[in-house]
Amino acid sequence: MADKKDDPRDCKVCFMKFDSEARRPRVLVSCGHSFCSVCITNLIKDNSTLLCPSCRAEQGLTCAEQLPVNFGLLELVDSDKDSSSDSLVADRTSSTNFESTGKVPVLNAGHCEEHGQYKLFRCTTCAQYICHVCTVVEHPNSTCTVISVKKALEDLKELHKGVISSELSDLEEVTDHLETYDAYLATWIGDHEDHICQLSAELQLHNDIIQELQEEREKIKVVLDDGQHKKECLKASQDHLEASNTVQDVSDAVDETLHCQTVTKYWNLQCTEQFPKKALISSSLKMHAVTAFALDMMKNYDNENTEEDKDEDRNIDNNTDDDKAISEQVSSLSIKEKLIEVMQEK
């Protein structure tokens, strides 16, 4: 018995068994291939020319009865009837059910509802999966390009492999950009944290200088109070001198005046030597100059950013060049170096 996968008793279009009734095997005289009467009728419907489903040879006819019957195949089918009636029943039952016969093509796009055949082809012109009959009736090679399901699947896979490859390439490029950007962010965060530490140290220096300046003011307050006392003593000695009329009184007033003058001169000398405290004033002026410069730079930087934000609002659809942005950011970070330079000059 022939292999079921290539059973000569089956029509190669509908995969159903030939019989002596509706599905009689008929020979295409143009090429010698045989198909059942039902399939031939479907193939020539609305067309006076039939194309062989196997070799595409042309055959002119208007009905299946114009073709000779392949009696050799009929004898093969009839001889099989005598072998086993049970087997015959099983075969006929399976001929109406593709799934139960085990002959369902591995690569198929389903069942054609119009012609009852498996869709083993794809019309690339119409973007449809079609059956054998469709290739002749609705999708002839004169107007359509037809390929096998296998070729269609291979082409589809290759197409999407290319798409996936392109998307992977784009994804890797974006990933590299984001990783680079993330590295810059980490660096900038570290720089800001360093700046915060430095600003904290600078703030502490300001607080220390403020403390020293306040202590200096307290000293000056004490000295001023002492100076006021000496001023009052000088005025009192002056009044005493003017009020003296006797030799003794004048002598006493002169001694008092000389004493006040000596004490006052010593006080003046001490004030000149102790004030101002040059080291403290120098530190204060340096800190003031550096801080004022830094604040001015930060103010200018904020103004530039504000103008840039306005420009971005006016040109929201324009892309910013990444390298330029990074260069500008690095330039802005040089404020730290400028501050150090100014402090060294001071």
Total Cβ atoms within 10 A of residue 28: 24
Measured CA to CA, the distance from residue 33 to residue 30 in angstroms comes to: 8
Q: HSE-up of 125 (CA within 13 Å, CB side)?
A: 10
For residue 136, count CB atoms less than 10 angstroms from its CB and return exposed for 0-12, middle for 13-18, buried for 19 or more: buried
pLDDT in tens, the chain (346 residues): 344 446 778 888 888 888 888 888 888 888 888 888 888 888 876 567 788 888 888 888 888 888 888 887 887 787 765 554 444 333 333 333 444 344 556 678 888 888 778 888 899 999 999 988 888 778 887 889 988 888 899 999 999 999 999 999 989 988 888 898 899 899 999 999 998 998 899 899 999 999 999 999 999 999 999 999 989 999 998 998 898 899 898 898 899 999 999 999 999 998 888 888 888 888 889 888 888 888 888 888 777 777 666 666 666 555 555 555 544 444 444 434 444 454 455 4
Residue (of 262, 233, 231) closest to 241 by Cα position = 233
**Cα 297 to the chain's mean position, in Å?**
35
Count of residues making up the chain: 346
